[in-house]
Amino acid sequence: MPVREIISAATIARRVTELGAEIDARLPPGPLTVVGVLRGAFMFMADLVRAIPREVTCDFLGVRSYGDATVSSGVVEITSDLGAPIAGRRVLLVEDIVDTGLTLKYLVDLLLARGPIGVHTCALMAKPSYQASPAGPALDFVGFDAPDAFVVGYGMDAAQLHRNLPYVAALDSD
């Protein structure tokens, strides 16, 4: 399927730098454990941690809710767990895109049960469907409003394709 660029690489770079400064300014001082949701958030997380001017450790959670489809299955499956305990740590959970908020809520609850000082959330993009829903936890930091379309690029995929695009694109159905 063809793709249409909607957010340029330069615009993403500027916003990620701003997000790093916002995170540093709004969260209490001290070390931060940044947990990226695999696989879609890996590029965003790599750029984001370089933009946060404090001590940062990184970990990852593997999660599946889409498979190869373009619509969430509604079931969240952990495919890879954290490599280190987070008890007593301040955690920043990093998502690529939040659609329904189901995965975000599940992951925040999972992380909170492990005894961190706090869990904060950051997403590159949030869809209108999530922004209108009071059901999920609030996102602390959001890079961009997402269009009501399936997006790829900058780590996000469609059936494992298009992750390597340096920009965010809409997947056209023609």
What structural domains and CATH numbers belong to the chain? 3-171 (3.40.50.2020)
What is the model's pLDDT at position 137? 73
**Is 145 an annotated catalytic residue?**
no
Strands 32-38 and 56-64: parallel
pLDDT confidence bin for 172, thresholds 50/70/90? confident
| CB atoms inside a 10 Å sphere around CB 14 | 11
What is the model's pLDDT at position 4? 94
Which of 50-54, 130-134, 136-140 shows the lowest per-residue confidence on average (mean pLDDT)?
130-134
Q: Which helix (H) or strand (E) holds 51?
A: helix 42-51
The residues pairing with 61 across neighbouring beta strands, listed in sequence order, are 37
pLDDT in tens, 78-106: 999 999 999 999 999 999 999 888 889 99
pLDDT in tens, 113-129: 999 999 999 999 998 77
Residue 76 pLDDT exceeds 70: yes
**Burial, 126: exposed, middle or buried (Cβ in 10 Å; 0-12, 13-18, 19+)?**
buried
- Top pLDDT among 137 and 157 is at 157
What is the model's pLDDT at position 68? 53
In angstroms, how far is the first alpha carbon of the chain from the final one? Answer: 7
Residue by residue, DSSP assigns 53-64 as -S-EEEEEEEEE
Distance CA 151, CA 174 (A): 15
What is the model's pLDDT at position 17? 98
pLDDT in tens, 32-67: 999 999 999 999 999 999 999 999 999 999 988 755
Residue 72 pLDDT exceeds 60: no
For the segment 2-11, the average pLDDT, to the nearest whole number, is 96
What is the model's pLDDT at position 170? 95
For the segment 134-161, the average pLDDT, to the nearest whole number, is 89
pTM for this entry: 0.91
Least Cα distance to 117 among 81, 142, 85 occurs for 85
Among 99, 140, 145, 174, the active-site one is: 99
Which of 13-17, 89-93, 130-134 shows the lowest per-residue confidence on average (mean pLDDT)?
130-134
Least Cα distance to 120 among 96, 100, 95 occurs for 95
Least Cα distance to 42 among 125, 163, 145 occurs for 163
Q: Which helix (H) or strand (E) holds 123?
A: strand 118-126
The tokens for 82 are: 């954290």
